[in-house]
């Protein structure tokens, strides 16, 4: 009987907290998605810089005197 009362109290607490938990989960997911987008943007910036360096080095091998000026 005591176990059933504990389970009933736990279910009641969850039911009462459900709207708050749902609202918080939306905020949490939004925050995590924004963090993910920012990391992706930084990674793309990093890759563009690397690409520039590689292209510059390749061109320097082909036309060193023109790029040095």
Q: Tell me if 12 is assigned to some domain.
A: no
Distance CA 39, CA 28 (A): 17
Q: Tell me if 42 is assigned to some domain.
A: yes
Kindly tell me the burial class for residue 47, based on how many C-beta atoms sit within 10 Å of its own C-beta (0-12, 13-18, 19 or more).
exposed
For every one of its 69 residues, what pLDDT tens digit does the chain have, with 9 covering 90 and above?
Answer: 889 999 999 999 999 999 998 888 989 999 999 999 999 999 999 999 999 999 988 888 877 666 665
Q: Tell me if 3 is assigned to some domain.
A: no
The total domain count for the chain is 1
Q: Tell me if 17 is assigned to some domain.
A: no
Q: Tell me if 49 is assigned to some domain.
A: yes
Give this prediction's pTM. 0.52
Q: Tell me if 63 is assigned to some domain.
A: yes
Half-sphere exposure in the Cβ direction for 8 (13 Å, CA): 5
Half-sphere exposure in the Cβ direction for 49 (13 Å, CA): 6
Domain of 47 in residue numbering reads as 27-69
Q: Tell me if 57 is assigned to some domain.
A: yes
Q: Measure Cα distances from 30 to 7, 21, 35, 60 in Å.
A: 32, 14, 9, 45
């Amino acid at each position: 009987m005591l176990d059933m009362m504990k389970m009933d109290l736990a279910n009641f607490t969850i039911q009462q907290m459900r709207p708050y938990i749902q609202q918080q989960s939306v905020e949490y997911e939004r925050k995590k998605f924004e963090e993910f987008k920012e990391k992706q943007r930084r990674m793309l910036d990093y890759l563009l810089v690397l690409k520039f360096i590689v292209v510059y080095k390749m061109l320097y091998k082909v036309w060193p005197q023109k790029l040095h000026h």
